[in-house]
Chain A
């Protein structure tokens, strides 16, 4: 008897994941070719959330541009505010008072916590652990309460402006924040017990969606995605802005490059953010929070480029001025956009279920991709 092996193939199936799929995190469409449950190819289709924000900004004075950045990365809008605020300051030669700088760092780190908590919740939900979602949102709600006390809004804060921060901290903010951080340590431990050690979670994350170091560099990955692939690259360290150079914190780096590494980087970053927040509260000097900008702000002709570390990665803003009231060009380097570019290279060969895990671990925000 002879044994012949024939390869079983089936005609491919094209599956449209999104834009209304429950876990594409916004309106992303992935056109995947399937063979059974295995991905043959993947093509991300973006643009469902395009609002022409950059063009809108060009038609408006500098000061008016800041609230639009809230709509870029809506999970960390303070970080997006910071990108354009820094660019405007650079182009107009504005120096931010020291207390303003501390406040900015404080607000950005609080927002980073909130954003990473959303990641944690959605990532866990993508893998089927819905409970973690509600726990992490419970904690996030308290962060939002704090931010509401500071800025008055819960999602689109618009509270980091060119020149600083418009108001000082409200009464009793420091105590509330410290109390929250004390409890947050325990909450993080709880997430660890629920997820990190969990055998199923590990099976779903370890070795899945591996991004090699070379690939991360080649595709321009940054932030937790790059750090999960063993690249110790954090703008807060390599090109410190505001008062990050005075802060003591570690940049967590994992070399595996898989979903688990990215997850761990973010969880570890939350602990580091808590550290930075405590330092800020401790060391913040008294003084002005905002530099006075002239009523009619006309920066000299030229260009400016700012680099910031948003929760998703390197968020940069390019501005050019011709000396008039409005910028002539505004451009954002949105980290999520580059991370989406990784998908066609990463997905072929994985299972449908892993698509969700990988997409979740990249933690993209479509508001930032489509702009």
Chain B
């Protein structure tokens, strides 16, 4: 390359550089003047989260049955990779529920697995997202914090469930009693039958029958 060529090249380079700078500056200028400013003034303006947003959990309150949907089946507990959920069951079976439901959100990944695991639509993720706290204990959310309707609905839930359980218990007890009565009636019948037999067999043998009623102190 000859010296003049080089000089021309240098000049060209300068011009090309200037042009590239001006191009870039045009872009920034259009942004300065003609574009929307996208900042959200956060604590004053809150972002609109999508309906599927995975924020703070909630346990929906079932108005019809006056209780939380959760039956205490622990499926969510098992589905959680980081053991966030722990609960105290209240009864079991058809009318079972929970009296305590703790989530240590300090460990939670908001991964949605627990929600997918729940077969009773009893746990969901809401749209609350300001969960930071100054204190580690505050990251443990208890059933009052999670239940829809707060403490009141937890109380109603416990009441409904314990009533249902009590009812169930009563029904069970009644059933048991009925069964026992039926049984004792049957026994009585058997006993009378035996007596009759005994009476019939009295002349043959005077010892009591070996198949006595269970109440008898055999």
Contacts and interface: CB of A to CB of B under 8 A. Distances in A.
A–B direct touch, CB within 8 Å, in complex?
yes
Interface in A147-200: 148-153, 156, 158, 166-167, 170, 190, 193-195, 197-200
A200 B23 CA distance: 13
Interface stretch (B108-116, B143-151, B180-188, B202-210): B108-116
Interface stretch (A13-21, A64-72, A270-278): A64-72
A348 B147 CA distance: 60
A63 interface: yes
A64 B81 contact: yes
A93 interface: no
Contact of A156 (B31, B49, B110): B110
Contacts of A50: none
Contacts of B26: 193
A43 to B, nearest CB: 34
Interface stretch (B14-22, B63-71, B98-106, B167-175): B14-22
B111 A67 contact: yes
Interface residues of B, number: 28
Given A64-B81, A67-B81, A193-B27, A148 B50 contact: yes
Interface stretch (B2-10, B51-59, B130-138): B51-59
Interface in A33-73: 60, 63-68, 70
Contacts of A199: 13, 16-17, 20-21
Contacts of A241: none
B38 A141 contact: yes
Contacts of B109: 67, 70, 156, 158
A223 B202 CA distance: 102
Pairs of residues from A and B, 5 with the lowest C-beta to C-beta distance, nearest first = A64-B81, A67-B111, A199-B17, A152-B52, A152-B54
B192 interface: no
Interface residues of A, number: 32
Interface of B: 13, 16-17, 20-21, 23-24, 26-28, 31, 38, 49-54, 79-81, 109-113, 116, 125
Given A158-B109, A158-B112, A148 B53 contact: yes
B52 A194 contact: no
Interface of A: 60, 63-68, 70, 131, 135, 138, 141, 145, 148-153, 156, 158, 166-167, 170, 190, 193-195, 197-200
A166 B116 CA distance: 9
A170 B50 contact: yes
A167 B109 CA distance: 19
Contact of A170 (B28, B52, B54): B52
A190 to B, nearest CB: 5
A150 B54 CA distance: 11
A67 B113 contact: yes
A199 B17 CA distance: 5
Nearest to A198: B20
A63 B111 CA distance: 11
A20 to B, nearest CB: 23
Given A63-B79, A156-B109, A198-B21, 4 more contacts: A70-B109, A148-B52, A153-B110, A170-B51
A238 B110 CA distance: 35
15 contacts: A63-B79, A63-B113, A64-B113, A65-B81, A67-B111, A70-B111, A145-B50, A156-B110, A167-B52, A170-B52, A194-B27, A198-B21, A199-B17, A200-B17, A200-B21
Contacts of B31: 131, 135
B111 A158 contact: yes
A68 B107 CA distance: 12
